Chain A
């Protein structure tokens, strides 16, 4: 009885699915989906090799400092970094006095614990990067987690920064309606191809590096991407280091446990 009922229920769902497949197939044949402009012209990010890649990767402190400089002088005009505290910067190789000086160069609006008043004061090492007020249209995303919150991570950020161009002529020819709207900028690495951020890094030497590295557009983009890998996960190195020790120990224990298992089962033929 239950089996007959079950077959009926199965038939009910199956027929519905069959109908759905046929309907789908019919509309697929009658109105085949057109190729979209994004599917044709979007490009996956270029590979970006960073010192922090791989199981044994370590941050290149010098590069992180350069990246921080690019963030400070270029990105920080519109993008905040709210999950990062000034004290975290000591991981980039800054000493206590330098961290304090960087913090003090920012104005932080904070509540006075005694009076309850909100007041502007110079930043302290314990403070986080203050919010950035953006005057234009839209909300530029906070950059603290940007490399974790985008497919492709740092490679995507790097590609995006160097990927601005005029719309290709073939694009306009194939998709005459897909002209980049006013106020948006064409970038082949952006999923919808047009974004509201104009190219932020435009010319060589836009930032003057203290360590003598030549500030090409590509270099600056790579440096800031490396920096944003760090901001997204300051504990990255510790995680991998702990992981290596732990995995080594686990491997040792597992081998021992396997040997113990073989011992115990040795008398039981067939295993």
Chain B
């Protein structure tokens, strides 16, 4: 948000002045991520994940475009072309490991970013649109990640494609024709692999477009902050540059250290060994699991083991899995608490931490084989997940008595605010 006290872009160099008249791109950057953008001064490290997500998207797009120069989307050679990248292409192993682990890094970052939003009420008015676009990005990411995992045409690629497209066949009446249309056949094969490659290449650029909208919408009202109190005066903010560029800068270094540790020293730790076996449509692996970032939702899918009313179990699972994410679209209207930050919402805060634990349990169960006790645990965990978003959040926001809020961001940082004394007098 452009607060009245924000710095104005004043190019001194004639060339920059000329540029500013013809195409004010430097001005745009200055006002978006430069000294002209005023940001709450009290953002903590949880607010760094946005920029890291942007970095991950760039890593994925760049490494992906480069990998596409060597990969061949044909069932006969896809697996071999992947190995060709790993063995013969200059630095190919680094590009591929960087891309595969980049997907994991992207999801870790995005989950932290989403849960930051849950905790600090980032989804609330007037920032609903930022949130809605964020959920769209997450859905696109899931689709892109799934499509990408199919490309090496290993066992997990093939059976992942089989199972996930199988979800669509649960839809009554149109399910089977829909699945056949998606795959371009009766089972995953060349037609599917080719279109998956095409879409896997396309979707990241769609994501990039929505990310730009997401940031645009964010700049309309500016960032939230850990207190949830809106910016009041100049002393509540600092300029994005140099304060947050510096903070983001060093956390980017920290992120790169962790990410590189995976790429160079344990590149297969997050993958599944079965995907180094070429796809075999005649033999299913003993345990099919998606990549770890889908485990919580996979656990929800598998938790529905019995038919309910007129809905068959399979359809229940699919409905539940999609509802588990789609409910986030309604969050700004389900949570009617006027207080944003969970810091001042004692009851909601407790449920938030239960949710964190709950999703961790779901993730663990999603990666475990479909046996007891994991099935029962995932059912109980799914139960909490649905209660949390559909029932607890609306009810808690109505009955909760929030703690007193600080007068301003400045007061929360410095312990006093000249303005608040004035305010009290008035």
Contacts and interface: CB of A to CB of B under 8 A. Distances in A.
A171 interface: no
Interface stretch (B112-120, B257-265, B355-363): B257-265
A243 B238 contact: no
A16 B308 contact: yes
A242 B260 CA distance: 10
B250 A254 contact: yes
A188 to B, nearest CB: 17
Contact of B382 (A11, A17, A265): A17
Given A21-B383, A246-B264, A264-B246, A145 B276 contact: yes
B55 to A, nearest CB: 14
Contacts of A235: 86-87, 93
A14 B303 contact: no
Contacts of B336: 3
B274 A149 contact: yes
Interface size class of A (residues with CB under 8 A): 35 or more
Given A28-B376, A250-B257, A257 B249 contact: yes
B189 interface: no
Interface string A11-41: 1111111111101110010000100000000
B376 A13 contact: no
Contacts of B413: 269-271
Interface string A231-249: 0111100111011101100
B250 A24 contact: no
Interface in B380-422: 380, 382-383, 386-387, 389-391, 394-395, 398, 413-414
Contacts of B330: 2, 6
A49 interface: no
B244 to A, nearest CB: 10
A23 B306 contact: yes
Interface residues of B, number: 67
Given A239-B93, A260-B246, A17 B253 contact: no
Interface string B313-333: 100100010010001001001
A10 B391 contact: yes
Interface in A52-87: 55, 83
B176 interface: no
What's the dominant secondary structure at chain B's contact region? helix
A246 B91 CA distance: 14
A229 B224 CA distance: 50
A150 interface: yes
A134 interface: no
B246 A19 contact: no
B306 A240 contact: no
Interface in A72-113: 83, 88
Contacts of B87: 83, 88, 234-235
Contacts of B375: 24
Nearest to B277: A149
B334 A6 contact: yes
Nearest to B413: A270
Contact of B390 (A10, A239, A244): A10
Interface string B362-388: 000000000110011001101100110
Given A83-B87, A235-B87, A33 B264 contact: no
A243 B263 contact: yes
A17 B386 contact: yes
B288 to A, nearest CB: 15
A51 to B, nearest CB: 17
B246 A265 contact: yes
Nearest to A234: B87
Contact of B304 (A20, A141, A233, A271): A20
Nearest to A145: B276
B316 A9 contact: no
Given A17-B303, A17-B379, A250 B260 contact: yes
A198 interface: no
Contact of B386 (A14, A25, A269): A14
A258 interface: yes
B242 A264 contact: yes
A202 interface: no
14 contacts: A3-B394, A6-B327, A10-B390, A23-B305, A24-B375, A232-B276, A235-B86, A239-B264, A247-B257, A247-B261, A254-B254, A254-B257, A261-B246, A265-B243
Interface of A: 2-3, 6-7, 9-21, 23-25, 28, 33, 55, 83, 88, 141, 144-145, 148-151, 191, 232-235, 238-240, 242-244, 246-247, 250-251, 253-254, 257-258, 260-261, 263-265, 268-271
Given A21-B383, A250-B253, 11 more contacts: A6-B334, A6-B390, A11-B390, A17-B386, A20-B303, A33-B371, A243-B264, A246-B264, A247-B260, A250-B256, A270-B413
